[in-house]
């Protein structure tokens, strides 16, 4: 089961549930599956992604940046995924920071 959080390609610049492509005005959808996994249906050919998993094997932190951006550069879109006690995905918050700081970034 997948849940599409954002899919409009002509939305306003303040996108809460999608990722805006820095090289164009297009936005592409972020898909969160029932386990909190993230994927994108387009635009990843020039992106890099990092994932940190929790003890249950669920993706807990996901970072996205343009290819070639170092993990220490504060140019990453970070996602923090939260799960309820039964392991279902319940919340995603974001931060803009470096991948090196994914644990201490200010998520909202």
pLDDT in tens, 54-65: 999 999 999 999
Boundaries of every domain in the chain: 2-101
Per the confidence metrics, is the pTM higher than 0.75?
no
The DSSP-derived string for 68-91 is T--TTSS-EEEEEEEE-TTS-EEE
Residues 6+ positions from 94 with CB-CB distance below 8 Å: 77, 78, 79, 80, 107, 108
**Mean pLDDT computed over every residue of the chain:** 74
Q: What is the mean pLDDT of residues 4-26?
A: 38
Residues 53-99: tens digit of each pLDDT: 999 999 999 999 999 999 999 999 999 999 999 999 999 999 999 99
Between 25 and 46, where is the model more confident?
46
**CB distance 29 to 4 below 8 Å:** yes
Instruction: Select from 88, 87, 106, 89 the least CA-distant residue to 97.
Output: 106
Can you give the C-alpha Rg of the chain in angstroms? Answer: 13
């Amino acid at each position: 089961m997948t849940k599409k959080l954002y899919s409009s390609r002509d939305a306003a610049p303040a996108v809460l549930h999608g990722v805006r492509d820095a090289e164009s005005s297009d936005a592409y959808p972020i898909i969160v599956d029932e386990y909190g996994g993230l994927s994108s249906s387009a635009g990843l050919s020039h992106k890099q992604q990092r994932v940190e998993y929790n003890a249950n094997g669920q993706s807990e932190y996901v970072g996205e940046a343009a290819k070639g951006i170092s993990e220490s550069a504060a140019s990453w879109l970070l996602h923090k995924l939260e799960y309820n006690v039964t392991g279902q995905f319940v919340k995603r918050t974001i931060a803009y920071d470096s991948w090196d700081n994914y644990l201490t970034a200010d998520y909202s």
